[in-house]
Structure 1
Amino acid sequence: MDLESIPGVGAKTARALDELDDPEQALENGDVAALARAPGVTVGRAARIARGAIRREHDDPGGFLATDRAREIYRQVLSLCQDRTVTDYAAHRLETLYPSPRRSRIEEVQDFSRRAIERDPHPDVLEAFEGVEPLERPGDVRVRDRCLATTDAERYAEAREAIPEISVEIVEDAQGLAELARGYSTVVAIDESFAGVEVEGDVQVRPDALADPADVVPERPLAFFARNRERLRAAVAVHRAVGRGGDTDSQLNATVDLDALEHGLERLDDDGTVAGDPELDRLTVAVDDLDAVAGVAESVANDRLREAIEERDVTIEGADLLSLVERGAGVDSLLSRELADEFAAAVEAARKHLIDALDLDVGEAELARHVFDDEPTFPVERDENATARLREELTVARDRRAAQLKRDLAADLAAQREGAHDLVRSALELDVELAVARFARDFECTMPEFVWDGDDGDEETGFAIEGGRSPVLEEPLEEIEPVDYAVSGTTLLSGVNSGGKTSTLDLVASVVVLAHMGLPVPAKEVRLRRFDDVHYHAKTQGTLDAGAFESTVREFADLATGGEGSLVLVDELESITEPGASAKIIAGILEALAENGATAVFVSHLAGEIREMAAIDVAVDGIEAVGLVDGELEVNRSPVKDHLARSTPELIVEKLAQEGNAAFYDRLLEKFE
């Protein structure tokens, strides 16, 4: 696949996508989460790329939303779905759903929507989504305490590509390995020729090392899981919440062992080190506390020895004192002769404190005993060489233990990496589905029925809405009166001011846009044709100047000559110029649209005049006001077919005629006939 052929994908983005394991599959599936794993590609950018790929796959020319108001309706209904997501990912993912004229795309999303509206958006599941985000790359992992060694230049290049996290060195022989071992804690020789070579230090001969990078550099998988630990825990929580809710249809991808994944994450610290191992903790504390504990042990010995000296009366014969002085002996000799037992007890107390405080095992304890020498001295001081040997032993044991734990945990988690991606992706996609399910429930939606091109009766079908409620109205759903409305061909919609004509156009636009997105629509039942595009012209504020008027007429001229398959919704076009001229222009536009087979609804207060001027029979529907109640219009919101609705002034005059001076008001009423 030529990635640069996707709309919006340039050379730089194509190179980033090429780093994915299977970019073509991700693009075919509209997998925003997978696309967002490409370097430098945000979730929002991934959604736009996926949308471009979908358009190309379905040979979608775009431009379905042909006017600003049509695009505004789309943004409003999309926003209503996005408002019902929990994760930012799902909100971006919904942007891959757009109104399309292509049957293949509509049916593809309809399959998704039918599954979605069966979901149960249980509160526990929605709460569990907090913290679920697409998995991230951990960034560059660099390990400096070990290296790979080889004698071959080609093998060197292969090693650098396979395991870039550690240094790769070229050596000539075993002596070169020995030199590396003095600078690295571990050297991994990857040539078979080094088998059987004995070199001082931690030198491992592993010709198969490049086949199992995680064993050589367990930090690689551990860094990934450490970076995404909370995201994975949140995804696991979603899965378990779904299970508790009993919605088996919503079960997430089960290619990962949840218990094993959770256990592995519990053993992992934020910095990628292994946590929760008592032996590693013991060795780490021993290395960190060795100097401090040895200092306390010195004090233990000296305090005991000082007390012993203070409590003893030591008598020295003159000859003995002379002999000690002549030999150059000092207090050490005196201690050896007079306080040998007390000194031994003091040193033993220091050793015991050192061993107990550091919780040393038998072998380590034997080394620790050499930290305090048996030779009497005061004050008692540790042997720095012996202390260094003990520290080295503990450090090696700690590092060996940590390395083994890393390898074990990395092996456990590395096997679940792909499953972890599936788990998070499934959780995120479930949020998308639940958003659609919540939208469908909140607006009492149904799946629309399309009359496809070539089906019987297609040429006579525009749209038919039963029990529709506009989702873009700000009133609560229960306060919106359901509307029934069906149109085939071109129609004028008349009605009183504030009677709901514009709301009816908004309902029609919302239903048609949602249907062509493949989503459920806010109505009891909907049947419609497949439209090529939607032209929704909102009411113009004030009369247009000559230039704007010319531009508007040109736009309708283009539509009239190529509008077959279009849905045209126009709200009070007569406001563009004088009423008399407007009626003539609208009549001409309706004639052209009717000839081209477009479906059109024109809201107008000049419906009667337009019908008289048109050279064809123009259908006129009316939103009828049934009367005035306390000064407020009482309106039947569903348009009445083939009925020119009475105006608000006519209703007011009729009301006045009933109250008095009937002769005058009856004369006025005659003018409306």
Structure 2
Amino acid sequence: MELTDVPGVGEKTAEALAALDGPEDALRRGDVVELARAPGISEGRAAVVARGAIRREHGDDARFLATDRAREIYRDALGLLQARTVTDYAEKRLETFFPSSAASRIEEARAFSREAMGRDPNPAVLDALSGVEPLEPAPDFRVRERCLATTDAERYAEARDRIPELSAEIVEDARDVAELARSYATVVVLDESFAGIDVEGDVQVRPDAFETPDEIVPERVLAFFARNRERIEAALAVHDASGMESPCDPERLREGLARVDDDGELVGDAELDRLTDAVDDLDTAVSTAESAANDHLRDALRERDVTIEGTDFLSLVEQGARVDSLLGRELSDDFDEAMRVARQQLCDSLRLREGETDLAERVFGGEPTFPMERNDEAVSRLRTELQAARDQRAGRLKAEAAETLSDLREPVETLVRDALELDVELAVARFADDFDCTLPTFAEPGDETDETNATGGFHIEGGRSPLLDVDFEDVEPVDYAVEGVTLLSGVNSGGKTSTLDLVALVTVLAHAGLPVPAESVELSRVSELHYYAKSQGTLDAGAFESTLRDFAALTDGAAGRLVLVDELESITEPGASAKIIAGILEALDRQGATAVFVSHLAGEIRESADFDVAVDGIEAKGLVDGELRVNRSPVKNHLSRSTPELIVEKLAGEGDADFYGRLLEKF
């Protein structure tokens, strides 16, 4: 897939997406969060790009939602679904579900919904999902105890670009490598010509370093898992709670995570801990050992009586000797014991092993002095040796741990993605459960195997709109079926507009491949949804002309469209409105469109039309205590009575029968 072939993706966006690892896969999955990781791409922009990729794949022209009111219905429906997500990922991912006229896209989404509706959104799964987020890349860091070396300037530049975590150095020969080995715990030489090099220190010749960066910098893998530990553990909990099959061995993954702390450092290795503590505690340990030796000497001096003969004292002075020389001669055994105490104290506190103790002994030695002093050069050498031992062991252990975790990298990405996708599925399942939804049945126009849809249209049974401003449990179910062009009449506040909203909602959800709030729905696939809301007052001449132009365009090539119009007569005078609406219905009928026009002028429109316009009615049962009682399901081929007629009829039965009777005859 060429990125610039995706609708809405220009050169700049394509360049940003190319920075991702596998943007084509992210586009195919509709992975909004992954796409939003591209530089300069917001999550909103990522959703647009993902929808564009899906539309391109299925040949969708993005014209289904043809009016503002149709788009409002879609946004409201999408909001109901998004309100049932736990993760931000699922909220954005749901934006890739949109009504489409493409049969392949509808079926793809229906397959997703069918599986989703079988999911169980139990509280344990939803709770576990609260900790799941998309995985993040490892943070930027530097490894200072390891370096890369090469004789080639181009490889040097490539090393700095491909493995920026390590310092890169230019060398000329083995002597330069040996010099680096004295400064770094490990030197990785990139040139095969150095194979077999014999220098002191940890020198690795790795011409394949760029192909195996995780081996050269195992900290990458460890930092990735450290940064994403909570996300991964939450995803594991989701799989456990939901019974989903894990793409990797959960225990092996947990054991791998347990080996790394939150900073990406190894834990659980006693020898590495010992060396790390030894390096960290060296200065304190040396000072403590030095104090112990001096305390020993101080006590020895207090307890000894030293006698110096005059000739001895004169001889020492003439020779320029210090008093320490005299102490060394008189208290040599005590000095030896003090040094032993200091060395033992140092070795014990640092838990030094054989081979390291030799260096520790050099810290305290030489000519006796009081107070006893450390050998700073020996301390520095001991520090260097301990650091090298620590870093080399850490490097080996990190490489081993990274090898294990690296094998789990792709399964972990699948683990987390599956958990996030489960949230999308559970949102659909919760929507279906909350609003008693079912998957609709599609039939193509002209399909003679289905009488309901043989000429296009829809058949809704037990439909209830969750968009109404009442509790869903209180919404009365509606049955309604339409083929071709139909007028919908009814009393004021009888539910005509809410019926149109229900038809629009069912159509939008069905063409998005999502469940619909009804007991059953059969409908034909339509190419566009044109829903025109009720106009707020009579239009002036200019606006009226513009509206007529819109409907003229609407009636051109209307086959396959679903047109819903709410009280178009309000745009101008009633007499003219009836004639205009009749003309629009005639054009739609000739085009073979499916349309429902809500109107209080159904009788007048029917008289003006040159064909037999179907008229359905939402029938009022009557007035009870001043309140209208209505059968919300439209009655087929029935012109409903108006509210004024019902009121006059009620008064005729209660008062002046002659007056009200004559009024009633006018209807």
Q: Which residue of 1 aligns with 2:286?
A: 294
The residue type paired with residue 88 of structure 1 is: D
Q: Which residue of 1 aligns with 2:6?
A: 6
Deviation digits for residues 270-322 of structure 1 (CA, Å, limit 9, x no counterpart): 33322333322222221122112211222222223223323444444444444
302-311 or 312-321: which moved more?
A: 312-321
The correspondence of residues 494-573 of structure 1 with structure 2, limited to 5 A, is 494-573=489-568
Deviation digits for residues 116-161 of structure 1 (CA, Å, limit 9, x no counterpart): 1001111111111123222223355544543333445676677667
Alpha-carbon distance between aligned partners in 2 of 1:516 and 1:426, rounded to the nearest angstrom: 25
1:240 Cα shift? Answer: 1.8
Q: Which residue of 2 aligns with 1:489?
A: 484
Q: Which residue of 1 aligns with 2:342?
A: 350
Q: Which residue of 2 aligns with 1:309?
A: 301
311-320 or 534-543: which moved more?
A: 311-320
Alpha-carbon distance between aligned partners in 2 of 1:319 and 1:150, rounded to the nearest angstrom: 69
Unaligned runs of 5+ in 1: 244-250
Q: Are the aligned partners of 1:445 and 1:521 in contact in 2 as well (CA < 8 Å)?
A: yes
The residue type paired with residue 69 of structure 1 is: R
Q: Which residue of 2 aligns with 1:413?
A: 405
440-449 or 551-560: which moved more?
A: 551-560
1:177 Cα shift? Answer: 2.4
Q: Are the aligned partners of 1:331 and 1:377 in contact in 2 as well (CA < 8 Å)?
A: no
Deviation digits for residues 396-449 of structure 1 (CA, Å, limit 9, x no counterpart): 111112111211111111111111211111111111111111101110000100
The correspondence of residues 641-652 of structure 1 with structure 2, limited to 5 A, is 641-652=636-647
Which residue of 571, 581, 589 maps to 2:584?
A: 589
Q: Are the aligned partners of 2:446 and 2:456 in contact in 1 as well (CA < 8 Å)?
A: no
234-243 or 433-442: which moved more?
A: 234-243
The residue type paired with residue 45 of structure 1 is: R
Q: Are the aligned partners of 2:445 and 2:455 in contact in 1 as well (CA < 8 Å)?
A: no
Judged with a 3 Å threshold, the aligned counterparts in structure 2 of structure 1 residues 153 and 331 are, in CA distance, closer, same or farther, namely closer
- State the identity as a percent: 68
353-362 or 525-534: which moved more?
A: 353-362
Judged with a 3 Å threshold, the aligned counterparts in structure 2 of structure 1 residues 343 and 215 are, in CA distance, closer, same or farther, namely same
1:440 aligns with 2:432: yes
Judged with a 3 Å threshold, the aligned counterparts in structure 2 of structure 1 residues 305 and 175 are, in CA distance, closer, same or farther, namely closer
Which residue of 382, 387, 399 maps to 1:390?
A: 382
Q: Which residue of 2 aligns with 1:232?
A: 232
- What secondary structure is seen at the aligned counterpart in 1 of 2:236? helix
Alpha-carbon distance between aligned partners in 2 of 1:171 and 1:307, rounded to the nearest angstrom: 56
Q: Which residue of 2 aligns with 1:248?
A: none
1:374 Cα shift? Answer: 6.3
Judged with a 3 Å threshold, the aligned counterparts in structure 2 of structure 1 residues 328 and 289 are, in CA distance, closer, same or farther, namely same
Alpha-carbon distance between aligned partners in 2 of 1:192 and 1:70, rounded to the nearest angstrom: 66
Q: Which residue of 2 aligns with 1:86?
A: 86
Q: Are the aligned partners of 2:292 and 2:342 in contact in 1 as well (CA < 8 Å)?
A: yes
Deviation digits for residues 448-498 of structure 1 (CA, Å, limit 9, x no counterpart): 001124421444230100000012113222111111011111111111111
305-314 or 659-668: which moved more?
A: 305-314
Judged with a 3 Å threshold, the aligned counterparts in structure 2 of structure 1 residues 519 and 367 are, in CA distance, closer, same or farther, namely same
Judged with a 3 Å threshold, the aligned counterparts in structure 2 of structure 1 residues 260 and 320 are, in CA distance, closer, same or farther, namely same
Alpha-carbon distance between aligned partners in 1 of 2:39 and 2:107, rounded to the nearest angstrom: 33
1:264 aligns with 2:256: yes
1:210 Cα shift? Answer: 4.2
1:555 Cα shift? Answer: 0.9
1:622 aligns with 2:622: no
Q: Which residue of 1 aligns with 2:272?
A: 280
335-344 or 631-640: which moved more?
A: 335-344
Deviation digits for residues 600-628 of structure 1 (CA, Å, limit 9, x no counterpart): 11111111221222221111111111122
Judged with a 3 Å threshold, the aligned counterparts in structure 2 of structure 1 residues 411 and 39 are, in CA distance, closer, same or farther, namely farther
Q: Which residue of 2 aligns with 1:427?
A: 419
Alpha-carbon distance between aligned partners in 2 of 1:183 and 1:380, rounded to the nearest angstrom: 31
Deviation digits for residues 564-591 of structure 1 (CA, Å, limit 9, x no counterpart): 1111111111111111111111111111
Q: Which residue of 1 aligns with 2:606?
A: 611
Q: Are the aligned partners of 2:145 and 2:391 in contact in 1 as well (CA < 8 Å)?
A: no
Alpha-carbon distance between aligned partners in 1 of 2:144 and 2:332, rounded to the nearest angstrom: 50
The residue type paired with residue 12 of structure 2 is: K
Which residue of 340, 346, 354 maps to 1:362?
A: 354
Judged with a 3 Å threshold, the aligned counterparts in structure 2 of structure 1 residues 365 and 180 are, in CA distance, closer, same or farther, namely closer
Give TM-score scaled by structure 2 length.
0.94
425-434 or 303-312: which moved more?
A: 303-312
Judged with a 3 Å threshold, the aligned counterparts in structure 2 of structure 1 residues 71 and 210 are, in CA distance, closer, same or farther, namely closer
Alpha-carbon distance between aligned partners in 2 of 1:364 and 1:170, rounded to the nearest angstrom: 33
* Cα RMSD for the two superposed structures: 2.3
Alpha-carbon distance between aligned partners in 2 of 1:95 and 1:311, rounded to the nearest angstrom: 88
Q: Are the aligned partners of 2:444 and 2:456 in contact in 1 as well (CA < 8 Å)?
A: no
Q: Which residue of 2 aligns with 1:174?
A: 174
Unaligned runs of 5+ in 2: none
Alpha-carbon distance between aligned partners in 1 of 2:611 and 2:445, rounded to the nearest angstrom: 26
Aligned length: 664
Q: Which residue of 2 aligns with 1:70?
A: 70
Judged with a 3 Å threshold, the aligned counterparts in structure 2 of structure 1 residues 224 and 16 are, in CA distance, closer, same or farther, namely farther
Q: Are the aligned partners of 2:186 and 2:392 in contact in 1 as well (CA < 8 Å)?
A: no
1:111 aligns with 2:106: no
